[in-house]
Amino acid sequence: MGSRASSLLREEEIEEIKKETGFSHSQITRLYSRFTSLDKGENGTLGREDFQRIPELAINPLGDRIINAFFPEGEDQVNFRGFMRTLAHFRPIEDNEKNKDPTASEPLNSRINKLLFAFQLYDLDRDDKISRDELLQVLRMMVLRMMVGVNISDEQLGSIADRTIQEADQNGDNSISFNEFIKVLEKVDVEQKMSIRFLH
Amino acid sequence: MENSLKQRRGLQVWFSVMIGLIMIPAMFGLSLGVTSVYIQILVKILEWSTLRIQRGHRDRPTLPVPAPLPNGLIQREGGSMEHEMGELRRYRTQSISRGEFALSDSFYFYRKGLESIVDDQVTQRFSSEELVSWNLLTRTNHNFHYISLRLTVIWGLGVIIRYCVLFPLRITLAIIGLSWLVIGTSLVGFLPNRRVKNWLSELVHLMCYRICARGLSATIQYHNKNNKPQKGGICVANHTSPIDIVILANDGCYAMVGQSHSGLMGVIQRSMVRSCPHVWFERSEMRDRHAVTSRLRAHVAAKSNLPILIFPEGTCINNTSVMMFKKGSFEIGGTIYPVAIKYDPRFGDAFWNSAKYNMVSYLLRMMTSWAIVVNVWYLPPMTRQEGEDATKFANRVKSAIAHQGGLLDMAWDGSLKRDKVKEEFKEHQQKMYSSMVVGKKARTSQEPHTESTKR
């Protein structure tokens, strides 16, 4: 009569994940159940098809980018640690964390790291700059170009991209660096908009 | 030697007496009341075990596995796409109606995406419902921990009773029921007279389904019997398992609709057709929607034919929600009699996960559960209104069934169990976003595919 769900997740692992991501004990075990239910192949890792099987994610225009964020450079499978590490970016920021020990590294769900996560979803080639092309790519994914009554041509998207870069670019290199990105979005309530409220 | 022979004979006699006692009242629709006593005892035991488990959790607060959450893992916040984008863009001087793009627009999609990865509404419908508290069956033991010796002993007793006492009884009853169906309907098929034949055929069908229901220890509660489906009508219900047919046919006679199979199922189907018309399609015919609709229409038009039984979801769902009704059944015309079926998950998980279990292993699991306890509600008949198309009508019926059965009304298609979601739904999202970029106010701020209403 043992418990099947957590038999594969050892206490030490839970502690490590807790330290790394800040999720509570019960949240980690619940997310582990979710992980195993998505893992149809039952091999302890998730592949891209496992994510694409979620209908609500499949209809998300940026779904593919989000799925990519889970997979480290060049890999096809993500294990539970990697899964949790990516999810940790969307953990809400708690007040008591602001008073934490300053020598500890920045928690994964800090404002800076949330913005970095969003930045990296734009910056595909990881050169720390969002180029015009990269911005255009994301725009193309979000928009429906052949729409009756409205015409959003590639040129229009191009000029939108140009205007956005112009607004944000401060050092004149025609691309958006991470600092410029932070500056443009400094008034956005990132803590609330890039957080998922977990029920205990 | 003699002793064991006597023992075996004694056992056989005892066995046949039991079967007789169960079968004969069942055939006439009467009940000796044994099952209800059994259910009451079970409820008491389950309540006791729930308390024990809760106490065990309290005594040991560092138990690694928490109880399942009935409302999901996360709280979904935020309103429509337009509202959220507006909030995200507040730092800019332009409003949504003037259009343009903001770097923060993508945040909306990222959060939605991550929310659906953590907890989505659809994939959970294709696996068994998680119980709030363990019901002493090994198969539902996902999150439950060893609590006490007494609980284990009860569980052990339960295993013995279910597998060694109940299971042989149930299998025998099922076999008797099915054989009687085949033999009885074939015999009735020889009769020429119309009225006597119909009456006898209904009797045979009812008896057989009642025996089968006993074979599952099914306790069925029918509500609003005055709305029972009439001849020449179409009965639609939510689909959880093949047992739904047995459940409904215990209280009335229906014309079944389905694919003709070979083997044992084929024998049963062919003999059933001899006594009264059912509608069996060849596999090739099923693809031609017009042929299917016209055959069903012809059946319904003959007012003396039994009501057709259709499950518009097209596949088995886990009885926590009702998924999209395929509009084909609602194009036939005639009166629709909606029926809501809700199983009590404490006594046995009735959901047939066809990806995991085949029919035989599913039936075996059913016969080794505690019991099947079902509530069936007959809803008032509905017809298509002026100017209402089949899809809207289907949704109206679906909402009524969901509301009555306490199930979640979902617009997602049940075929997502196996198929990928259609591209057009992604295009719908893109379309809505495009209106914001261009600067037109979006016509509807509702996103139909994430809309779901709970009672």
Q: Does the CB of B148 have a partner CB in chain A at under 8 Å?
A: no
CA-to-CA distance for B53 and B154, rounded, in angstroms? Answer: 13
Is the Cβ pair A14, B64 closer than 8 Å? yes
CA-to-CA distance for B421 and A59, rounded, in angstroms? Answer: 7
Is the Cβ pair B90, A197 closer than 8 Å? no
Least confident of A180-189, B230-239, B334-343, B441-450: B441-450
Is the Cβ pair A193, B112 closer than 8 Å? no
CB < 8 Å to B75, chain A? 197-199
Question: Binning pLDDT at 50, 70 and 90, where does residue B402 land?
Answer: very high
Arithmetic mean of pLDDT, B11-20: 79
pLDDT of residue B398: 93
Confidence check: pLDDT of A104 > 90: no
Question: Binning pLDDT at 50, 70 and 90, where does residue B340 land?
Answer: very high
pLDDT of residue B442: 42
Report pLDDT digits (tens) over B48-66.
888 877 777 677 655 555 5
Strand, helix or coil for residue B140 = helix
pLDDT of residue A147: 59
Is the Cβ pair B412, A55 closer than 8 Å? yes
User: Which of B117, B151, B157, B431 is most worth mutating to test chain A (most A CB atoms within 10 A of its CB)?
Assistant: B117
Q: Which of B170, B184, B204 has its CA nearest to residue B348?
A: B170
Check: CB of residue B345 under 8 Å from CB of residue B247.
Answer: no
Q: Does the CB of A148 have a partner CB in chain B at under 8 Å?
A: no
CA distance A183 to chain B (A): 12
Distance spanning both ends of chain A, measured CA to CA: 25
Better pLDDT: B235 or A145: B235
Q: How far is CA B14 from CA B10, B19, B179, in A?
A: 6, 9, 22
Calculate the dihedral angle through the C-alpha atoms of B35, B36, B42, B43, rounding to the nearest 10 degrees.
160
Report pLDDT digits (tens) over B28-42.
767 767 777 888 888
Q: How far is CA A155 from CA A139, A151, B436, in A?
A: 12, 11, 17
Is the Cβ pair B123, A38 closer than 8 Å? yes
CB < 8 Å to A111, chain B? none
Report pLDDT digits (tens) over A125-165.
888 888 888 888 888 888 876 655 566 788 888 888 888 88
The token pair that represents B158 in the structure block = 């339960």
- Which among B77, B103, B421 has the least Cβ separation from residue A181? B103
Biggest alpha carbon–alpha carbon distance for chain A: 66
Half-sphere exposure of A89 (CA within 13 A, CB side): 25
The separation between CA B372 and the C-alpha centre of its own chain, rounded to angstroms, equals 12
Q: Residues 59-88, chain B: which have Cβ within 8 Å of A? A: 64-66, 69, 71-75, 77, 84, 87-88
CB < 8 Å to A150, chain B? 434-435, 438, 440
Angle CA(A148)–CA(A152)–CA(A158) in degrees, nearest 5?
A: 170
CB < 8 Å to A197, chain B? 74-75, 77
Confidence check: pLDDT of B147 > 70: no
Rg (alpha carbons) of chain A, rounded to whole number = 19
pLDDT of residue B66: 59
Check: CB of residue B137 under 8 Å from CB of residue B348.
Answer: yes
DSSP letters spanning A18-72: HHHH---HHHHHHHHHHHHHH-TT-SSEE-HHHHHT-HHHHTSTTHHHHHHHHS-
Is the Cβ pair A3, B141 closer than 8 Å? yes
Does the predicted interface ipTM exceed a cut of 0.90? no
The enclosing H or E element of B221 equals: strand B218-223
Confidence check: pLDDT of B441 > 80: no
Q: How far is CA B356 from CA A35, B12, B163, B182, B188, in A?
A: 18, 36, 22, 30, 38
Strand, helix or coil for residue A197 = strand
Question: Binning pLDDT at 50, 70 and 90, where does residue B433 land?
Answer: confident
Check: CB of residue B257 under 8 Å from CB of residue B278.
Answer: yes
Is the Cβ pair B73, A199 closer than 8 Å? yes
Kind of pairing between the strands at B336-343 and B234-237: parallel
Q: Which of A20, A31, A143 has its CA nearest to residue B430?
A: A143
Arithmetic mean of pLDDT, B76-89: 76
Which are the contacts of B245, defined by CB distance < 8 A and separation ≥ 6? B256, B309
pTM of the model: 0.79
Q: Does the CB of B112 have a partner CB in chain A at under 8 Å?
A: yes
The enclosing H or E element of B257 equals: strand B255-259
CB < 8 Å to B441, chain A? none
Report pLDDT digits (tens) over A18-61.
888 888 888 888 888 889 888 887 888 899 988 988 998 988 88
Which are the contacts of B392, defined by CB distance < 8 A and separation ≥ 6? none
Q: How far is CA B138 from CA A98, B135, B158, B241, B276, in A?
A: 46, 9, 10, 20, 42
Task: Give me the amino acid identity at A191.
Answer: E
Q: Count chain A–chain B contacts defined by CB atoms under 8 A.
A: 192
* Mean pLDDT rounded to a whole number for chain B: 80
Is the Cβ pair A185, B71 closer than 8 Å? no
CA distance B435 to chain A (A): 8
Other beta carbons less than 10 A from residue B212's beta carbon? 26
CA-to-CA distance for B139 and A11, rounded, in angstroms? Answer: 25
Q: Does the CB of A57 have a partner CB in chain B at under 8 Å?
A: yes
CA-to-CA distance for B286 and B284, rounded, in angstroms? Answer: 5
Using a pLDDT cut of 70, give the percent of chain B over it: 87
Angle CA(B342)–CA(B345)–CA(B349) in degrees, nearest 5?
A: 100
Check: CB of residue A195 under 8 Å from CB of residue A188.
Answer: no
pLDDT of residue A2: 33
Is the Cβ pair B91, A188 closer than 8 Å? yes
pLDDT of residue A101: 56
Nearest residue on chain A to B412, alpha-carbon basis:
A55
